[in-house]
């Protein structure tokens, strides 16, 4: 999705804007642009990678200390220089960058055309720029009133950064349903759609709420509500390390983030478990509230949904509360019947995924309690959910999630154990046993990374040619197969599917041919023999079988290649099995020579429907 960065201060804006945009590349984009004010506001744009924009401006000697920049992920209008942001109003008074979508832009075009506005691009953003300009001129009002009138008039989602020709020392920003943070240090003020863009410059930020606006001056930020009244905001400190958003010698963010997993999982565990006791009181979810929960709805998208599928097995088994897991984009439009004593759990790394945010609002409107499992502090879901449990994954830059996924899993285990204990479904002994075992997960992952990476790397080069892969497993092994399969297809572009092992024979087995790659995940004691039988069925049709399993499970009669993982409690295997699956996807993609951190057509945080 698009990215915004803006700076107003003492330093040359061009360097800060380009650096910030480079930190937003991971979000996915197809063109980029900046506007810098020196004597006049000068605009530079280029289609394609940021390097094209850098080439365009390298000899320009841009000295301005105020400017806005943007990476565009095309929605309205093809990727082109003409459609790239910043956009400028007809009379040149308003220059704007925008993330999000203006839904009623056609209606606004008609309105503006009646007033002789002309359009040079195919974007909804140009319309937004001119609407601000229209109100600004019509009522002879200042930026805040023009922006507020625009916010009332437009429908959709937006984060905008605006420069007015008449207010050369200010950047104006506003947002609705699209992320934006504002930072400040002694050198100036900053705005960005995402923390990594400004993390290097400051950790002191303000969170701007929906339908609020702000004016960034060189030394202060003034916030306004929709009435145009000034509002006070507290500055907050971001806890992320600057180094977490840098590659630090790794070839790609994805592999760096895979290797960070033991550390961030440990951090996440330690923030909720001390002295063998779980403490989730920071979420404000009380034991009384837990006792009262009669149903659980887990709602999420993509990999976060797969965490939900794992959690469904674990939560239901441990707490004996019925659990349903739903894809957010389906949940939000299907008017589900929800128990008033239900708990909706929204899982999201970014906390900004449009469908997950909408699902959260649906659940709140239905009057049920909501709990977010979120990585980005201050994100929309984190702010709107009744309760929040934060994952401490730090900034995740690779589009394909790894460490956020793993920390989300951990939170669901902790929640399941705590709920089961509070509801007296497990006794103290079991509670302590599970807590003890959870704490071994970071080291077990470290062992997998140390012991298996080389073999997986060698194996992967053999599979760069494959067209199809199937991931199969039962129960929790099926849940993690869903994630393994998504991981492979999203980065390597190899078609892959995950199947509940027992379901193959109902159609999919007809796709198995000699050398089709089948990955079997086999960890669950009660049912592993069944999965092995299913693997035998595909092996006898010529499939090449890789298994991921603890040593105690004998896979000799099926596996062409075995990846051994350490033993753990049955509930926690997903945390271990996912590691080789992530490595497999990473190395297959690298051996195909693809851009593993920025797969085509994908965006890190999906803020549109």
DSSP 598: S
- DSSP assignment of 276-343, as one string? TEE--GGGT--HHHHHH--EEEEEE-HHHHHHHHHHHHHHHHHH---EEEEEHHHHTTS-----TTEE
Least distance (Å) from ligand M6R to the CB of residue 304?
4
Nearest CB to ligand M6R, comparing residues 402 and 453: 402
What is d(CA 22, CA 580) in angstroms, rounded to the nearest whole number?
Answer: 30
Chain contacts with ligand M6R (rule: CB under 6 A): 301-304, 348-350, 353, 356, 399-401, 486, 490, 605-606
CA distances (Å), origin 531, targets 35, 471, 502, 538, 547:
58, 11, 7, 11, 11
Give DSSP secondary structure letters for 539-590: HTTT-EEEEEEETTS--TTT-SEEEEE----GGGHHHHHHHHHHHHHHHHHH
Tell me the CA distances in angstroms from 470 to 249, 272, 546, 602, one per residue in order: 33, 36, 10, 22
Dist CA 273 CA 290 (whole Å) = 18
Rounded to a whole number of angstroms, the minimum distance from the CB of residue 178 to ligand M6R is 14
Beta carbons within 10 angstroms of residue 476's beta carbon: 25
Comparing CB distances to ligand M6R, the nearer of 495 and 530 is: 495
Beta bridge partners of 31: 47, 72
Of the pair 510, 601, the CB lying nearest ligand M6R is at 601
Bridge partners of 183, per DSSP, are: 190, 205
What does the alpha-carbon distance between residue 465 and residue 459 come to, in Å, rounded to a whole number? 12
- Closest separation in Å from C-beta 374 to ligand M6R: 8
Q: What are residue 16's phi and psi, to 5 degrees?
A: -70, -40
State the Cα–Cα distance between residues 380 and 457, nearest whole angstrom. 38
From 2, 215, 301, 310, the catalytic residue: 2
The tokens of 380 are what? Answer: 């929309």
**In the block, residue with structure tokens 């499939």:** 543
Structure tokens at 477: 């092994």
Annotated active-site residue in 23, 403, 487, 604: 604
Rounded least distance, CB 29 to ligand M6R, Å: 15
Nearer to ligand M6R, 37 or 252 (CB): 252
User: By the 8 A CB rule, do 270 and 372 touch?
Assistant: no
What dihedral angle (degrees, nearest 10) is formed by the CA atoms of 50, 157, 398, 466? -100
Based on the residue annotation, tell me whether 446 is a catalytic residue of this protein: no
Nearer to ligand M6R, 124 or 355 (CB): 355
User: Which residue is at the shortest CB distance from ligand M6R?
Assistant: 302
CA atoms within 13 A on the CB side of 289: 17
Q: How far is the CB of 581 from ligand M6R (least distance, A)?
A: 12
CA dihedral of 77, 135, 208, 349, whole degrees rounded to 10: -20
Q: Which is nearer to ligand M6R, 144 or 254 (CB)?
A: 254
- Of 400, 450, 445, 395, the residue nearest 254 (C-alpha): 400
Q: What is the Cα Rg of the chain in Å?
A: 25
The secondary structure of residue 502, as a DSSP letter, is G
- Cross-strand partners of 215: 172, 222
Eight-state DSSP code of residue 425: S
Of residues 208 and 304, the one with the C-beta less far from ligand M6R: 304
Q: Which is nearer to ligand M6R, 30 or 490 (CB)?
A: 490
Measured in whole angstroms, the distance separating CA 72 from the mean position of its chain's CA atoms is: 17
Minimum Å distance from CB 348 to ligand M6R? 3
Q: Mark whether 335 is an active-site residue.
A: no
Q: Exposed, middle or buried, 479 (CB in 10 Å: 0-12/13-18/19+)?
A: buried
Cβ closer to ligand M6R: 121 or 348? Answer: 348
The one-character DSSP state at 208 is P
Q: Is the distance from CB of 445 to CB of 275 less than 8 angstroms? A: no
Q: Which is nearer to ligand M6R, 132 or 374 (CB)?
A: 374
Which CB, 21 or 358, lies closer to ligand M6R? 358
The set of catalytic residues is: 2, 604
């Amino acid at each position: 999705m698009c990215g915004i960065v803006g700076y107003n201060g003492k330093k040359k804006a061009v360097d800060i804007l380009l650096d910030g945009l480079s930190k937003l590349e991971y979000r996915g984009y197809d063109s980029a642009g900046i506007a810098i004010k020196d004597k006049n506001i000068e605009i530079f744009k280029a289609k394609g990678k940021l390097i094209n924009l850098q080439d365009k401006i390298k000899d320009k000697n841009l000295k301005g200390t105020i400017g806005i920049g943007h990476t565009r992920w095309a929605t309205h209008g093809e990727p082109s220089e003409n459609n790239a942001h910043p956009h400028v109003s007809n009379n040149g008074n308003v220059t704007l960058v925008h993330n999000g979508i203006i839904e009623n832009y056609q209606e606004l075009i008609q309105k503006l055309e009646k007033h002789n506005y002309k359009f040079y691009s195919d974007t909804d953003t140009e319309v937004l720029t001119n609407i601000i300009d229209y109100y600004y001129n019509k009522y002879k009002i200042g930026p805040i009133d023009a922006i507020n009138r625009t916010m009332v008039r437009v429908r959709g989602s937006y984060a905008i950064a605006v420069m007015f020709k008449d207010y050369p020392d200010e950047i104006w920003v506003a947002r609705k349903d699209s992320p934006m943070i504002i930072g400040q240090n002694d050198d100036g003020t900053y705005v960005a759609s995402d923390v990594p863009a400004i993390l290097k410059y400051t950790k002191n930020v303000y969170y701007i709420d929906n339908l609020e606006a702000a004016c960034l001056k060189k030394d202060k930020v003034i916030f306004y509500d929709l009435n145009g009244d000034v509002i006070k905001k507290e500055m907050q400190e971001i806890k992320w390390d600057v180094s977490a958003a840098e590659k630090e010698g790794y070839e790609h963010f994805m592999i760096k983030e895979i290797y960070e997993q033991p550390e961030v999982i440990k951090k996440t565990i330690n923030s909720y478990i001390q002295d063998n006791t779980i403490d989730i009181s920071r979420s404000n979810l009380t034991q009384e509230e837990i006792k009262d929960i009669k149903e659980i709805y887990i709602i999420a998208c993509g990999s976060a949904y797969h965490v939900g599928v794992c959690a469904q097995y674990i939560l239901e088994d441990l707490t004996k509360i019925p659990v349903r897991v739903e894809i957010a984009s389906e949940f939000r439009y299907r008017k589900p019947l929800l128990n008033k004593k239900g708990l909706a759990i929204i899982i999201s790394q970014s906390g900004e995924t449009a469908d997950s945010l909408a699902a959260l609002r649906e659940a709140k409107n239905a009057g049920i309690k909501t709990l977010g499992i979120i990585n980005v502090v201050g994100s929309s879901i984190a702010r709107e959910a009744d309760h929040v449990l934060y994952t401490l994954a730090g900034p995740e830059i690779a589009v394909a999630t790894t460490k956020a996924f793993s920390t989300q899993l951990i939170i669901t285990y902790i929640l399941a154990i705590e709920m089961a204990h509070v509801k007296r479904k497990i006794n103290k002994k079991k509670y302590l046993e599970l807590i003890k075992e959870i704490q071994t997960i970071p080291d077990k992952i470290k062992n997998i990374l140390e012991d298996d990476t080389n073999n997986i790397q060698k194996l992967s080069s053999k599979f760069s040619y494959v067209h199809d892969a199937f991931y199969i497993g039962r129960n929790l092994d099926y849940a993690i197969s869903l994630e393994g399969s998504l991981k492979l297809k999203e980065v390597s572009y190899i078609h892959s599917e995950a199947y509940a092992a027992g379901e193959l024979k109902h159609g999919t087995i007809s796709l198995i041919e000699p050398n089709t790659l089948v990955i079997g995940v086999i960890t669950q004691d009660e049912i592993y023999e069944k999965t092995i039988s299913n693997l035998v069925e595909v092996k006898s049709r010529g499939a090449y079988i890789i298994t991921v399993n603890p040593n105690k499970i004998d896979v000799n009669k099926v596996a062409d290649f075995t990846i051994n993982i350490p033993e753990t409690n049955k509930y926690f295997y997903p945390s271990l099995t996912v590691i080789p699956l992530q490595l497999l996807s990473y190395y297959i993609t690298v051996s195909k020579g693809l851009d593993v951190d920025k797969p085509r057509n994908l965006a890190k945080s999906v803020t549109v429907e």
